[in-house]
């Protein structure tokens, strides 16, 4: 959740109480790896008659389509690919709606009005509130990092990414980040598990915090580029600590300043303290390498389906079940341009907790990193549920 950038909320909605400092990426996609089927049992009937539905971490209030700001101007057809991917792993309550969606999809693809008509005919909007009745919440953003890498250690590429070490199951918890960097026995345990070598330890931290990423390998002789994905495989069972919080608590950054670009800038100005900052977070994530046959497809979220840039979000599954279409009413970072669109709940993370809470998947590349790294906006949200 790189979007926990700690910038001041610029939303025009009711102000959201500022949370405590969170590191960029504190949603930590590694913690999103729980199987979707066990994350949040769906208890809603297919056609709820009540005006209020209670879930463990939220309550839903029956709403009208006219309550959704911007509903009629969203490019709604763009959500179909994400929705159909969720329908590959539908909860029981979604079986009939997903069957209808797969049947009707060809006539809706690319047609916003037809998509809205289908949604209005098959689904019903519900406004999401906290159990206590609070309707304002928080939107942050995350993305898939794109990092240059090498297959071998060589000048300029000295920071290793590792697969799970062979003895990972023999120690609980496993070695901390600092121990893996400094203790001979701990360092030895990692030998032979290197997947790739990176230029910057902050790139490695970013991949670990996001839980997945893309590695670009450039042949130093031919200049040929190849692209692979590294995905979460395991972690060292140590607690996650926010490096953003560490910097704020020491007065190195203010809450308003703290963002991923600011953390990188601080590291450049304080190269002798980078290890101290990194070691403040004892958690280490281990990866597995995956082929990337289609670079337009995102990493898999907690639901087990690929994420779609701009149309997938991470949620608290005890508030919103996976596979649920969600209407967001928030703003883009920095510009405060309204961000009102239909997305699908397909992921989660440790920092994604509470009723009105969404982590918005921006995609990959520099623009996605810039947006996600600064996103901390006020939020209102509605879920769409089968009639």
Q: According to the model, what pLDDT value does residue 366 have?
A: 85
Give mean pLDDT, residues 89-95.
Answer: 94
**CATH value at residue 102:** 2.40.40.10
Give domain status of residue 120, yes or no: yes
Give domain status of residue 350, yes or no: yes
Question: How many CB atoms neighbour CB 37 within 10 A?
Answer: 12
Give domain status of residue 82, yes or no: yes
Q: According to the model, what pLDDT value does residue 107 have?
A: 62
Consecutive H or E run containing 179: helix 177-182
Tokens standing for residue 46 = 């297919």
Q: According to the model, what pLDDT value does residue 337 have?
A: 93
Among 212, 196, 190, 194, which Cα is nearest to 148's?
196
Lowest mean pLDDT among 6-20, 56-70, 278-292, 323-337: 6-20
Q: CA 296, CA 279: separation in Å to the nearest integer?
A: 35
Give domain status of residue 252, yes or no: no
How far is CA 339 from its chain centroid? 17
Q: According to the model, what pLDDT value does residue 296 have?
A: 86
291-302 per-position pLDDT tens digit: 888 888 899 999
Three-class secondary structure of residue 347 per DSSP: strand
Give domain status of residue 171, yes or no: no
- In this prediction, residue 325 has a pLDDT band, given cuts at 50, 70 and 90, of very high
Give the whole-number percent of the chain exceeding pLDDT 90: 73
Is residue 41 scored above 90 in pLDDT? no
Give domain status of residue 85, yes or no: yes
Is residue 48 scored above 70 in pLDDT? no
* Full domain range(s) for residue 334: 29-142+306-386
How far is CA 222 from its chain centroid? 35
Give domain status of residue 255, yes or no: no
Give domain status of residue 125, yes or no: yes
Give mean pLDDT, residues 147-176.
Answer: 96
Number of domains observed in the structure of the chain:
1
Specify the higher pLDDT residue, 14 or 42: 42
Distances (CA, A) of 92 to 44, 87, 127, 319, 378: 10, 11, 22, 17, 32
* Residues shown for the chain: 387
């Amino acid at each position: 959740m790189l979007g926990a950038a700690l910038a001041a909320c610029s939303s025009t909605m009711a102000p959201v109480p500022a949370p405590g400092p969170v590191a960029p990426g504190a949603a930590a996609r590694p913690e999103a790896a729980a199987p979707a089927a066990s994350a949040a049992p769906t208890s809603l009937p297919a056609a709820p008659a009540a005006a209020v539905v209670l879930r463990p971490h939220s309550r839903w209030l029956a709403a009208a389509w006219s309550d959704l700001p911007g509903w009629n101007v969203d490019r709604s057809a763009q959500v179909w690919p994400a929705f159909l991917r969720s329908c590959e792993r539908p909860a029981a309550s979604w079986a009939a709606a997903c069957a209808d969606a797969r049947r009707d999809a060809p006539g809706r693809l690319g047609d916003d009005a037809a998509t809205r008509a289908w949604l209005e005919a098959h689904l019903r909007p519900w406004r999401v509130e906290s159990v206590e009745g609070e309707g304002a919440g928080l939107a942050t953003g995350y993305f898939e990092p794109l990092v240059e890498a090498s297959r071998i250690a060589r000048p300029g590429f000295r920071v290793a990414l590792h697969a799970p070490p062979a003895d990972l199951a023999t120690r609980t918890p496993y070695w901390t980040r600092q121990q893996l960097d400094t203790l001979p026995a701990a360092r030895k345990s990692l030998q032979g598990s290197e997947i790739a070598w990176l230029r910057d330890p902050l790139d490695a931290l970013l991949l670990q915090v996001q839980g997945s990423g893309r590695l670009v390998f450039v042949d130093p002789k031919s200049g040929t580029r190849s692209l692979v994905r590294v995905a979460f495989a395991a972690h060292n069972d140590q607690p996650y600590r926010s490096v953003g919080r560490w910097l704020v608590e020491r007065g190195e950054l203010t809450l308003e300043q703290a963002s991923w670009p600011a953390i990188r800038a601080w590291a450049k100005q304080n190269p002798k303290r980078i290890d101290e900052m990194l070691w403040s977070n004892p958690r280490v994530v281990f990866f597995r390498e995956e082929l990337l046959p289609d670079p337009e497809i995102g990493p898999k979220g907690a639901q087990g389906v690929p994420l779609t840039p701009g149309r997938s979000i991470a949620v608290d599954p005890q508030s919103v079940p996976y596979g649920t279409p969600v209407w967001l009413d928030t703003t883009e970072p920095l510009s405060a341009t309204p961000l009102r669109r239909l997305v699908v709940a397909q992921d989660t993370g440790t920092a994604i907790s509470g009723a009105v809470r969404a982590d918005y998947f921006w995609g990959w590349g520099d623009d996605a990193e810039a947006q996600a790294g600064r996103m901390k906006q006020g939020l209102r949200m509605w879920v769409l549920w089968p009639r």
